[in-house]
């Protein structure tokens, strides 16, 4: 995997797909698995916004898709917060809403990989992509250290 931002984001996306499956498919420890998903996906979103989305707001080729990405992050944050506030994770309603979250997040990360990555490769050079990976990893480390990964 290339040592650039795209490789780092893809690796995170793979992990998020696994965590979503774990939440939806498990019959026990659902709350613990969900907490793990929320922590990791929120850290991914915030670091991605800082290191990847913000610089891509300038080029016209990426701006619109990135604005949509910000909006989708916000929507999934709201659903995750709602799921986190429901006491019984074994209820049918909780499961149905978790299924909705899974569909939203999978759609979002597929769209990033299929639409934003190619547009970003056009708009930014490889040097930028390598440096952006460093900023992405630094942002995730800072979030983990300050415990601010959940908004």
Q: Footprint of Fe ion on this chain (CB under 5 A)?
A: 48, 112
98/120 with CB nearer Fe ion:
120
Distance from the Cα of residue 32 to its chain's centroid: 19
Tell me whether residue 14 or residue 29 sits nearer to Fe ion (CB atom).
14
Least distance from Fe ion to the Cβ atom of residue 125, Å:
21
Cβ at position 16, least distance to Fe ion in Å: 8
> Are the CB atoms for 42 and 80 separated by under 8 Å?
yes
Which CB sits closer to Fe ion, 4 or 48? 48
Report how far residue 133's alpha carbon sits from residue 122's, in angstroms, rounded to the nearest whole number.
Answer: 17
Residue 100 CB, nearest distance to Fe ion (Å)?
A: 17
Identity of the residue, 34 or 41, whose beta carbon is nearer to Fe ion in the bound complex = 41
Closest contact distance (angstroms) between CB of 108 and Fe ion is 6
3-state helix, strand, coil in the chain (%, to 5): 85, 0, 15
Q: How many CA atoms lie within 13 A of 123 on its CB side?
A: 19
């Amino acid at each position: 995997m290339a040592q650039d931002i795209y490789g780092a984001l893809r690796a995170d996306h793979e992990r998020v797909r696994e965590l979503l499956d774990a939440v939806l498919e498990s019959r026990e420890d659902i709350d613990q698995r969900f907490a793990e998903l929320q922590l990791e996906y929120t850290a991914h979103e915030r670091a991605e916004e800082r290191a990847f989305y913000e610089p891509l707001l300038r080029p016209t080729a990426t701006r619109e898709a990135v604005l949509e990405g910000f909006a989708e992050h916000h929507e999934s944050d709201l659903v995750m917060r709602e799921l986190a506030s429901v006491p019984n994770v074994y209820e049918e309603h909780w499961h149905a809403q978790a299924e909705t979250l899974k569909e939203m997040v999978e759609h979002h990360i597929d769209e990033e990989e299929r639409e934003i990555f190619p547009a970003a490769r056009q708009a930014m050079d490889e040097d930028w992509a390598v440096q952006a990976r460093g900023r992405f990893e630094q942002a995730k480390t800072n979030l983990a250290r300050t415990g601010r990964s959940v908004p």
